[in-house]
Amino acid sequence: MSFKNFTIETDEDGFALVTWDMPGKSMNVIDMTVMEELDAIVDQIAADDAIKGAVITSGKAAFSGGADLTMLEGLLKDFHVKRGNDPEAAAKVLFDGSRKLSQIYRKLETCGKPFVATVAGTCMGGGTELALACHARVVGEDLKMGLPEVKVGLFPGAGGTQRVMRMTDGQQGLQFLLQGRTLRASQAKQMKLVDEVAAPRKLVAAAKKLLKAGLDPVKEWDKKGYKLPNGKVYSPAGFQFWPAANAIYRRETHDNYPGARYLLQSVVEGLQMPMDLALQIESRYFAKVLQTPEAANMIRSLFVSMQELNKLARRPADQRPNKIKKIGILGAGFMGAGIAYVTAQAGIDVVLIDRDQEAADKGKAHSDELISKAIKRGRATQEQKEKLLSRITATVDYDALADCDLVIEAVFEDRDIKKTVTEKAEAAMKSRAVYASNTSTLPITSLAQASKRPKNFIGIHFFSPVDKMMLVEVILGKKTSDRALAMALDYIKAIKKTPIVVNDSRGFYTSRVVMTYIREGLMMLADGVPPAMIENAGKMAGMPVGPLSLGDEVALDLAWKIVSATRKDLGVKYVEGPLDNILEEMVVKRERFGRKNGKGFYDYKGKEKTLWPGIAEVTGKPKPASSFNIEELKKRLLVMQALETARIFEEQCLTDVREADVGSILGFGFAPYTGGTLSYIDMMGTPAFVEVCKKYARKWGPRFKPNKLLRDMARENRTFYGMFPPKTAEKDRDAA
């Protein structure tokens, strides 16, 4: 039999080499045809007496990116359509459909013939579950193996939860599953999830050696007398382990993620059963999690939309691709140095300019520090370091910008300084080169007034720390051309980050919404909410840090500067509030600027921080915690950010729902289980959301008044995704 995605060659020893190599794809993914073919291959190998065992390998550099989640999306859509007529039959179709892969893997595991997986490079999700179902795993030194399903609201549903917990120590296994972490070869070996590590070219030979040595085709858990690595769930050891596991789960997730909740249930219940029943339990929870709005929203934002944005969904189609060879960076400070590092890492030459040579050199030294750390951790080589550093020229000479395709300005947030460097740079740059500002708040159109070529002027807003944050916000000035946009997007793709494109306005999208989160924390202080309760409400709502903590990170003096500048710009239209008093008292009177000077709403000692006991001196004595409802505080923090996003959408600063959602999660960590700010509104329904806004406006102030767009949508019960559907998705997606 011949297959589209696999080839099979049997050698003279009777060992079949099954090579997975999907035509026209850069990565093997699991889709319907792969499942059908894999199913047939297992049947064929099991039935063929001439075949003694099999090696499953990949024809590509990596093993597999996992399942194509659009397949699950399709299954779900089908379920929702059918549910209306016959809910029971629809549930059965979903259950059967979502456990197909699990059944194929179980068949492979119990077919009586030994299978070895050889795994090089990336191996994720369903790919990892395939490897775990085999009877042994030989992996390359470059292995990156993970089960990242929890990150898109799911959990591993093709046997992953049951096999991992039967193969490795309970604590390590649970952490691996719940955090969706990626393991390197040595870690996977230490956890007993793989058997051997070999050089990439020797993988198949090593696998065949295992087969020749008589690899057992029956797994330990399918034999009598099998003992779980951590003992039974209901045992003295189990009583020590599982209550603590539950507590850690709650601490890490605040019970916001159904994927993690069902994962834990599936593990605890599955471990009490023989494998076939355990897999059935896993499948039931998997079908259940698939039906949650959280999973649907997370798959949409963090898988489908993110991929579309990474493939530059917003790139003007008529622009020729840019091959970016060299970029200039003005300002080698905190941001400029980070931008230089990620750019040079992408193989692009960098001219890094500052006011004096010392400052420029200091900026370059940041790259040295980062890559030296990576070398220590075994993630980079000396040769890579030399190459990286050779790409960065630290200088004060603007003439070095002459052959740059793109110049990114990251000097102080000061209009006059930005104007001076724009003029100096443009005088040296090619006339077709694009000039970008990394400003966090100053409108691009106004900065472009300093430019002789405003068509070539654009905003490229990075987040700190640049090497870790995956989002880049591109800002279009009034005169920005499509060519400049294409250049910015091509550059962002080259440095492997995710772009969103917004129109110009004060604070753009992300900074503007982040400020509302911090502001709401300050307003809560003014309302008498105890500081610790505010911080906990933020974290319990799913934000990475509380609003006061974030205020300290961003810097309170910066927030004060922004408030003062906004007040100056808006003049009489500016409405003064308790926030102004708190910030003025903290910054001007007490010089508490936040983390940067070791004192803000927190006191900082090294990596430790504790809430500053003097907050009450600034805000007045807080009321008892019992006067506030924690659920309402949580909601208040999320609703405010979602409402601000809806306003930005109405103002057409944001024009694409995907960008709003992905940008909110990657840019400022908006509660990922919601799928992002606009998905959060859709999930609640616009009528309910508008009601909450109105209620909060009466109770907490007019800043909660819903905008016209939201009121109109609520009247007709419309959703953002229904009313503003993103342009059709591309057909060819890679998998998670």
Residue nearest to ligand NAD (CB): 333
380 binds ligand NAD (CB under 6 A): no
421 binds ligand NAD (CB under 6 A): yes
Q: In the stretch 146-175, what mask flags binding to ligand NAD with x, by CB under 6 A?
A: ------------------------------
- β-pairing, 457-461 vs 471-476, is antiparallel
In 3D space, the residue among 464, 524, 229 whose CA is nearest the CA of residue 338 turns out to be 464
Q: Which stretch binds ligand NAD (CB under 6 A): 433-441, 573-581, 616-624, 683-691?
A: 433-441
Q: Which stretch binds ligand NAD (CB under 6 A): 203-211, 283-291, 343-351, 408-416?
A: 408-416
- Rg (Cα) of the chain, in Å, rounded? 28
Among 146, 336, 530, 675, binds ligand NAD (CB under 6 A): 336
Q: Among residues 337 and 533, whose Cβ is nearest to ligand NAD?
A: 337
Q: Which stretch binds ligand NAD (CB under 6 A): 53-61, 163-171, 349-357, 482-490?
A: 349-357
Instruction: From residue 712, give the alpha-carbon distance in Å to each of 656, 708, 717, 718, 723.
Output: 19, 6, 9, 8, 11
How far is Cα 694 from Cα 691, in angstroms, rounded to an integer? 5
Diameter over CA atoms, the chain: 88
Instruction: From residue 178, give the alpha-carbon distance in Å to each of 79, 163, 259, 354, 429.
Output: 27, 14, 9, 44, 50
Contact (CB, 8 A) for 444 and 475: yes
499 binds ligand NAD (CB under 6 A): no
Q: Among residues 319 and 441, whose Cβ is nearest to ligand NAD?
A: 441
411 binds ligand NAD (CB under 6 A): yes
In 3D space, the residue among 504, 538, 516 whose CA is nearest the CA of residue 643 turns out to be 516
- Please provide the size of the chain in residues: 736
Q: Among residues 350 and 359, whose Cβ is nearest to ligand NAD?
A: 359
User: Minimum distance from CB of 452 to ligand NAD (Å)?
Assistant: 18
In 3D space, the residue among 116, 106, 112 whose CA is nearest the CA of residue 17 turns out to be 116
Give one DSSP letter per residue of 431-476, joined into a string.
Answer: TT-EEEE--SSS-HHHHGGG-S-GGGEEEEE--SSTTT--EEEEEE
Among 162, 307, 322, 440, binds ligand NAD (CB under 6 A): 440
Q: Among residues 67 and 337, whose Cβ is nearest to ligand NAD?
A: 337
How far is Cα 412 from Cα 424, in angstroms, rounded to an integer? 16
Q: Which stretch binds ligand NAD (CB under 6 A): 134-142, 238-246, 311-319, 350-358?
A: 350-358
297 binds ligand NAD (CB under 6 A): no
412 binds ligand NAD (CB under 6 A): yes
Number of residues lying near ligand NAD (CB under 6 A) = 24
User: Minimum distance from CB of 338 to ligand NAD (Å)?
Assistant: 8
Among 131, 178, 290, 410, binds ligand NAD (CB under 6 A): 410
Among 334, 432, 575, 717, binds ligand NAD (CB under 6 A): 334
Residue listed under structure tokens 């059918």: 82
Q: Which stretch binds ligand NAD (CB under 6 A): 48-56, 217-225, 417-425, 521-529?
A: 417-425
Reduced to 3 states (helix: H, G, I; strand: E, B; else coil), residue 256 is: coil
332 binds ligand NAD (CB under 6 A): yes
Among 354, 490, 644, 659, binds ligand NAD (CB under 6 A): 354
Q: 535 is written with which tokens?
A: 């911080």
Q: Among residues 355 and 479, whose Cβ is nearest to ligand NAD?
A: 355
User: Minimum distance from CB of 325 to ligand NAD (Å)?
Assistant: 23
Q: Among residues 148 and 459, whose Cβ is nearest to ligand NAD?
A: 459
Give one DSSP letter per residue of 652-714, joined into a string.
Answer: TS---HHHHHHHHHHHH---GGGTSHHHHHHHH-HHHHHHHHHHHHHHH-GGGPPPHHHHHHH
For 578, phi and psi rounded to 5 degrees?
-60, -25
User: Minimum distance from CB of 438 to ligand NAD (Å)?
Assistant: 4
413 binds ligand NAD (CB under 6 A): yes
417 binds ligand NAD (CB under 6 A): yes
How far is Cα 228 from Cα 70, in angstroms, rounded to an integer? 35
Reduced to 3 states (helix: H, G, I; strand: E, B; else coil), residue 196 is: strand
Among 58, 265, 367, 439, binds ligand NAD (CB under 6 A): 439
355 binds ligand NAD (CB under 6 A): yes
Q: Among residues 115 and 508, whose Cβ is nearest to ligand NAD?
A: 508
User: Minimum distance from CB of 682 to ligand NAD (Å)?
Assistant: 29
User: Minimum distance from CB of 442 to ligand NAD (Å)?
Assistant: 7
Q: Pick out residues in 73-112 that bind ligand NAD (CB under 6 A).
A: none
Walk across the sheet containing 6-10 and list its strands: 6-10, 15-20, 53-58, 115-119, 136-140, 196-198
234 binds ligand NAD (CB under 6 A): no
Reduced to 3 states (helix: H, G, I; strand: E, B; else coil), residue 83 is: helix
Instruction: From residue 569, give the alpha-carbon distance in Å to each of 169, 441, 561, 630.
Output: 60, 13, 12, 36
In 3D space, the residue among 136, 121, 147, 142 whose CA is nearest the CA of residue 67 turns out to be 147
User: Minimum distance from CB of 339 to ligand NAD (Å)?
Assistant: 9
Q: Which stretch binds ligand NAD (CB under 6 A): 377-385, 404-412, 448-456, 670-678?
A: 404-412
User: Minimum distance from CB of 301 to ligand NAD (Å)?
Assistant: 23
For 589, phi and psi rounded to 5 degrees?
-85, -35
Cis peptide leading into residue 465 (ω within 30°):
yes
Q: Pick out residues in 557-616 that bind ligand NAD (CB under 6 A).
A: none
The runs of H, that is alpha helices, within 254-355 are: 258-270, 275-290, 293-299, 306-310, 334-345
Q: In the stretch 459-478, what mask flags binding to ligand NAD with x, by CB under 6 A?
A: --xx-x--------------
User: Minimum distance from CB of 558 to ligand NAD (Å)?
Assistant: 8
Instruction: From residue 234, give the alpha-carbon distance in Å to each of 222, 239, 272, 295, 514.
Output: 20, 7, 8, 31, 46
Among 58, 307, 322, 438, binds ligand NAD (CB under 6 A): 438
- β-pairing, 29-30 vs 66-67, is parallel
Q: What residues make contact with ligand NAD under the rule CB under 6 A?
A: 330-336, 353-355, 359, 410-413, 417, 420-421, 438-440, 461-462, 464
